[in-house]
A and B are shown apart, each in its own frame.
Chain A
Amino acid sequence: MAEIRVENLHKAFAQFVAVRDSSFTVRDGDFFCLLGPSGCGKTTTLRMIAGLELPTSGRILLGGEDVTFKQASQRDIAFVFQLFALYPHMNVRANISYPLRCQGTPRDEVARRVEETAKILRITHLLDRSVSGLSSGDRQRVALGRAIVREPLAFMLDEPLGALDAEFRELMCGELRALHDRLKATTVYVTHDQLEAMSMADTIALMNNGVVEQLGPPQEIYDRPASMFAADFIGSPPMNLIPFRGRVAPGDKSVRLGEAAVAVPEAREGTEETELALGARPEHVRLTLDSPLRASVLDTEYLGTTQIVTLTTAQGTTLKARVASGIAARPGDQIGLAFRTEKLSLFHKASGRALRSALHEEAARG
């Protein structure tokens, strides 16, 4: 297994820049997610690491070795695609053993490794079955088996669960992560589904327009989004972004939303008066009676333990609050809003960038 280092990776297709000067390191044994919307460059990045695409400039190091211009077949990387192409005329065993047989691996070793792989994936009972009769989940396990059996330096997975239905996807997420914990293989996983990335990854690289917007552990990105894009893309419902006009000076501990002062983590950098946005996760919004920040309830969504309350403020901003399902809120109710101060973010609207505050020092302390 190995570390993957990507240095100033750049890829242009004619006029279109798919990946713009990206640099990051995937640590040995890491479960690394490239996350972002369609067209953000995540798949192109993955394909360059795998050698299926050549970068316009930049370098890729696999286990310390420069593989930038090596062919895919020489990189010792296994790739699993969203549309798992199995050989329909072969049974499960033949499908899984195919990559080994292609390499001319001795027969008894092929047999041993296929059995081992099938055991890891818990599909031993399917080995002699035809692939055409398998459920989509089992087919995906066979596709994974074909990657695992090679014992490669790293795995590249391109939305491998995208074709499965929601209930099954959740199950497979757990399975994939458990598999990773057993194999400890460096894995780069591409997805547009933030929940998949949050639940499985050790590290997320959040991409947008060909650029890595933020890199870090899932909880870090969730708690301290570096940009409005990250704030909005991660979390369901996403972070509330409440626009206001104001100025911030280092040391400020509150901002003014209309008539109301809202306490925020102590600012470490300031701006001139400009368009800003206050960022609050739905679970950090509280409903109170006496806050000067007024809102009316538009809707409530019961989720069992919690409910999502959709609100609109006097300024016309729509917010979502996640509160205990025991709290009574009905459409039309007029209420006050309060926030969990130490969790709030501030963003500079024009650049989308988060303003540094005491929130970010909590990060340094861990």
Chain B
Amino acid sequence: MAEVVLDGVSKRFGHTQAVAELRLRVADGEFLVLLGPTGAGKTTTLRLVAGLEAPDAGRVRMGDRDITAEPPSARDVAFVFQQYSLYPHLSVFDNLSLQLRSPARRLPEDQVRTRVVEIARLLHLEEKLDNRATELSGGQMQRVAIGRALVRRPSIYLMDEPLSSLDAKLRAEMRVELKRIQRELGATILYVTHDQTEAMTMASRIGVLEQGHLVQLGSPREIYEDPVNIHVATRLGSPSVNLVPRGLFPSLQAPETTVTIGVRTEHVRIRKSTTWDRAVGTKEETEGPNGSAVGRIRWVEHLGSQSHLHVTIANTEVVTLADPHSALAVGDEVEIEMLAPLFFDARGDRVGRS
């Protein structure tokens, strides 16, 4: 294992700047997740590290070696793709051992066996070693695909949305598995995904990418609690952070340049309105006591462990969490108070960030 450094790497395809002056250091033994929507430059970044693309500018280093000009085969990386292409006519054992037996490595057969069995145990595939690849479930196939990368012990594993073709239940299991394996092997992983849950639950650090730029880099908690802009704030958190115009909460203390207020669903305090005699939900009349705003519950979404209350304030909808057995119901008039508001200016950047 070794650290991998991207030093001001850029890559352009025609008119599209896929990756722009990316500076990133993946520390030895770190699970770094690049999070971003389609087209953010996640996959291009992986391909630049793998050597499947050549950068227009910048250097790629592995340990103290500059590998920018090295071909993929010389780079000592292992790539796991979204589509696990296993050899259907081969057994699990053969699928796992194929790369170790390649002429370039020519590992002695007993070492091949030792390594394959060890990785199979790690992936809970020991009993499946003699099965054909086609006789496996989707989750098992994906584990074989990951295993094929693991047997090689490269300096870094590059993973491109490896769980996204699995169903929800399996994906949840594999998240835990993958993190366990990473920990046990002390592996260095650069992992890209558009799935915030994967990023939040597995990453040592998350890098949020937006149109080729690295917008924020930090631990999941740092990024969740202290986003640098609206884009990052909306990337993490489910349900998504509430964004309301500043004018909706006129008496709330906020920095002067604030245009938008963001508040996480768990930081919205809600109670039945005490201002019964007023016309509410209109554009003019949203102000409630103590910096709160008055609105009406449009919909209660039951999710089992908790409920989401969708509250309409003027033309804006705010989502809050409630106990599933809360007495609040559709049509109720409520006061909304923000406990830990995030303030954003006209460009969407955080203001008043401590």
Q: Is B251 an interface residue (CB 8 A)?
A: no
Please provide the chain A residues from 85 to 142 with a CB less than 8 Å away from any CB of chain B in the complex.
none
Instruction: Please count the residue pairs between chain A and chain B whose beta carbons lie under 8 angstroms apart in the complex.
Output: 78
The reply to whether B195 and A166 contact each other, CB–CB distance below 8 Å, is: yes
| Interchain CA distance A174-B238 in the complex, whole Å | 14
> 1/0 contact trace for B294-307 toward A, CB 8 Å?
00000101111111
A310 within 8 A of B: yes
When the two chains form their complex, are residues B305 and A299 in contact, meaning their CB atoms are under 8 A apart? no
Interface size of B in residues (CB-CB distance below 8 Å)? 36
Residue among B175, B237, B301, B304 making CB contact with A234, cutoff 8 Å: B304
B279 beta carbon closer than 8 Å to chain A: no
The CA of A218 and the CA of B302, in the complex, are separated in Å by: 7
* A residues less than 8 Å from B324 (CB atoms): 219, 222-223
What is the chain A residue whose CB lies nearest that of B303? Answer: A198
Which of A219, A283, A302 is the one whose CB lies under 8 Å from B302? A219
Q: Is the CB of A281 within 8 A of B305?
A: yes
Report chain B residues within 8 Å CB of A234: 304
CB-defined contacts of A198 to chain B, threshold 8 Å? 302-304
Closest to A235 in B: B304
B236: chain A residues within 8 A (beta carbon) = 304
B221 at the interface (CB under 8 A from A): yes
Instruction: Give the complex CA separation of A250 and B307 in angstroms.
Output: 33
**What residues of chain A lie closer than 8 Å to B321, measured between beta carbons?**
305
Do residues A304 and B224 form an inter-chain contact, with CB atoms below 8 A? yes
A195 close to chain B: CB less than 8 A: yes
Q: Does B246 contact A (CB under 8 A)?
A: no
> A301 to B304, Cβ gap below 8 A?
no
Q: Is A178 an interface residue (CB 8 A)?
A: yes
Interface pair B180/A299, CB less than 8 Å apart: yes
A334 at the interface (CB under 8 A from B): no
A193 partner residues in chain B, CB cutoff 8 A: 168
Contact with A along B188-210 (1 / 0, CB 8 A): 00000011010011100000000
* B226-242 interface (Cβ within 8 A of A): 236-238
Check B299–A304 contact: CB distance below 8 A: no
Asked whether, in the complex, the Cβ of A325 is within 8 Å of the Cβ of B221, the reply is: yes
Q: By the criterion of a CB under 8 Å from any partner CB, how many residues of chain A are at the interface?
A: 34
Verify A222–B302 contact, CB threshold 8 A.
yes
Cα of A237 to Cα of B183 in the assembled complex, Å: 22
Please name the residue on chain A nearest to B319 by beta carbon.
Answer: A174
Q: For A299, what are the chain B residues with a Cβ–Cβ distance below 8 Å?
A: 176, 179-180
Q: With an 8 A cutoff between CB atoms, is A181 at the interface?
A: yes
Q: Is A265 interfacial (CB-CB < 8 Å)?
A: no
With CB as the reference atom, state the residue of chain B lying closest to A237: B172
Check if B305 sits within 8 Å of A282, measured CB to CB.
yes
**A301 contacts across to B, CB distance below 8 A:** 175-176, 200-202
A199's partner among B180, B201, B221, B303 (CB-CB below 8 A) is B303
User: Could you say which of A178, A195, A223, A310 contacts B299, with CB atoms under 8 Å apart?
Assistant: A178
Inter-chain CA distance A303–B238, complex, in Å, is 9
Residues of B within 8 Å of A325, CB to CB, are 221
Per the bound structure, the CA–CA distance linking A167 and B180 in Å amounts to: 27
Q: A298-B180, A304-B237, A331-B183 are in contact. Are A218 and B304 (CB under 8 A)?
A: yes
Closest chain A CB from B343 CB (angstroms): 19
With a cutoff of 8 Å between Cβ atoms, the chain B residues found around residue A217 in the complex are 302
The reply to whether A305 and B264 form a contact with Cβ atoms under 8 Å apart is yes
Bound-state CA distance A136–B145 (Å) is 30
Excluding A223-B324, A298-B180, 12 further A-B contacts by CB distance (< 8 Å) are A174-B310, A198-B302, A199-B301, A219-B304, A235-B305, A237-B172, A283-B306, A302-B221, A303-B200, A304-B224, A304-B236, A322-B305
Q: Which 7 A-B pairs have the closest CB atoms?
A: A301-B201, A222-B304, A305-B266, A218-B302, A283-B305, A219-B302, A199-B301
| A-B residue pairs in contact (CB < 8 Å), sample of 18 | A178-B299, A193-B168, A195-B168, A199-B308, A219-B302, A219-B304, A219-B324, A223-B304, A223-B324, A281-B304, A299-B180, A302-B200, A303-B197, A303-B201, A304-B237, A304-B238, A304-B266, A310-B176
